[in-house]
Structure 1
Amino acid sequence: MLNALEIVTTVIVGLMVGVEFSVAFVINPILNALPDDSNQRGRSHGGRMLGAVMPVWYIGSLVLVAIWAVAGWRQDGAGLVVTAGALLILSVIMSILLLVPINNQGKTWTPENRPEDWKEQMNRWDRYHYARVAVIIAAFALLATALA
């Protein structure tokens, strides 16, 4: 049963990393190449869509890692799992403090009501997102190592 939990947790966290990596290095660069109205509309839509899904995914991943850490406490790799959990906690804190406030504003913008500095705010969100992606990649790598 623990083996199944380890695999499921690693896959779920890995998929989350893949989505966030894609946002950072594929989707946002595509949107940034579009004209301003299309760029901003795409980011607003993405903020609404992913803003609804990702909190569940982040918290669910953290819960699974916590269960793995408790259930596998006496096994090799438990320290890696705990460290991965700490990194996922950091990613949630980063999200709440840095990314969500910008996202909550950006998802309501339209070409008619967006602020003058909307691009600067999106660039700031991107920088924070790059850091968060690095954190969750590290967490995923630790889980994969613990699984091996």
Structure 2
Amino acid sequence: MFDALEIVTTVIVGLMVGVEFSVAFVINPILNALPDDSNQRGRSHGGRMLGAVMPFWYIGSLVLVAIWAFAARNHDGAGLLVTAGALLILSVVMSLLLLVPINNRGKTWTAENRPADWKEQMNRWDRYHYVRVAVIIAAFALMVTALA
């Protein structure tokens, strides 16, 4: 059962890290190369789609890591899992305080109602997202190290 918990948690967190990495370094650069209307529409759609899924993915990942850390409390690597969990908590706090407010505005924009500074707001979101991606990559690396 413990092995299954390790595998499921690693896969779920790893997929989340991969999606967020892809958003930062593949999807958004592609959207940024499109004309403004297409760029903004793509980001709005992505904000709606991923904004509906990611809260469950982030919280679910945190819960799984917490369960794993508790189950491994007397094993080598437990400290790494606790640190990974703390980093995932940081990523959730960052999301709620920094990224979600921008995303909530951006997902409602259209070509007709977007603010004049929409690109600046998207650039700010991107900068915060890069930091969040680094945090969740670090958490994932700690999790994988705990497996070794």
Q: TM-score, normalised by structure 2?
A: 0.99
Contact 1:13/1:140 (<8 A) preserved? yes
SS in 2 for 1:108: coil
4+ aligned runs moved over 6 Å, structure 1 = none
Q: Once the 2 structures are TM-superposed, how far is the Cα of residue 76 of structure 1 from its aligned partner?
A: 0.5
Structure 2 unaligned runs (5+)?
none
Letter in 2 for 1:128: Y
Aligned equivalent of 1:53: 53
Q: Percent identity?
A: 89
Q: Once the 2 structures are TM-superposed, how far is the Cα of residue 132 of structure 1 from its aligned partner?
A: 0.0
Aligned equivalent of 2:20: 20
Contact 1:44/1:107 (<8 A) preserved? yes
Letter in 2 for 1:22: S
Output the CA distance in 2 between the equivalents of 1:88 and 1:147: 18
Output the CA distance in 2 between the equivalents of 1:2 and 1:80: 16
Two-structure CA RMSD over aligned residues (Å):
0.4
Contact 1:80/1:146 (<8 A) preserved? yes
Structure 1 unaligned runs (5+)?
none
Deviations 1:89-147 (A, max 9, x none): 00000000000000000000000000000000000000000000000000000000001
Output the CA distance in 2 between the equivalents of 1:15 and 1:89: 17
2:106 matches 1:106:
yes
Mapping 1:25-104, distance limit 5 Å: 25-104=25-104
Output the CA distance in 1 between the equivalents of 2:120 and 2:145: 38
Contact 1:7/1:147 (<8 A) preserved? no
Q: Once the 2 structures are TM-superposed, how far is the Cα of residue 3 of structure 1 from its aligned partner?
A: 1.2
Aligned equivalent of 1:124: 124
